[in-house]
Amino acid sequence: MGNKLLSEPVWRLISDSPSVAEEFGRSTLSIVIAGPEAIGMEMKLWDSRGLAHHCDGRVFLSPSGRAGSRCGCPPLMAERKERARFGQGPQPVTTVLFRLVGEAAQDAAMLRFRSSSWRFAETVEALRADLARVHGPALCELTVESIEFTTRNGRRVAYYKPAVKVRGPWSLDLAA
C-alpha cells in the first residue's frame, strides 16, 4: 500500500476486568447469537434537524405517523448506496446482539456491535438465513476481514470490514 500501513485489526472490549479485555483483544471473537432476530438492519439519513429518514429499506420505522408506510428506497442495495453517496438517501446501520464465548465471559452481559458498513449490511439476509437454519442459539465468529482492490484508474484501496460466520448450534458444553 505504498507508504501507508494498515495496522492488524483487533476487536477491543472495554471491561472492568483486565482478563476479559486481554482475552478478547483479537481479530476473531467466538460469540453466541440467539437467532435471526438478533440481527437488525435499518437505514438512516440525518440532516441538520435530526433524523430525516428511518426505514428498513421497504417501510418507514419512524416517526410513528409514517411507520409501516412505504419509504420509497430502491430495492437493490447498490441503488441505495448510490443515492446515499450523493446525500439523497439513508445509510445502513446494522446491529448484532451477542454474548461472548470463553471462560472469562461466562458472566458477561449481552453485547451490541453496530456497523455502518455497506458490505456488512449486504450480508444481513444471508446471515439471518444461516441463523434460522440452526433453530436456536448459534456459535458464530465475529471477524475483521481485509479487503484490497485496485480501482479502474489504478489506485489501490485497502480497508477492513466486519463479518459474522455461523459455525453451528451452541450449547453449554461449548461455553468453556
Whether residue 7 is contained in a domain is answered as no
Cβ(111)–Cβ(95) under 8 Å?
no
Whether residue 80 is contained in a domain is answered as yes
Whether residue 86 is contained in a domain is answered as yes
Print the domain residue range for 155.
18-174
Helix (H) or strand (E) run with residue 127 in it: helix 124-134
Total residues found in the chain within this entry: 176
Q: What is the pLDDT of residue 19?
A: 67
Cβ of 142: how many Cβ atoms within 10 Å? Answer: 20
Low-confidence ranges of the chain (pLDDT < 50): 1
Phi, psi of 118 (to 5 degrees): -65, -40
Q: What is the pLDDT of residues 32-80, one digit of tens each?
A: 999 999 999 999 999 999 999 999 999 999 999 999 999 999 999 999 9
Whether residue 6 is contained in a domain is answered as no
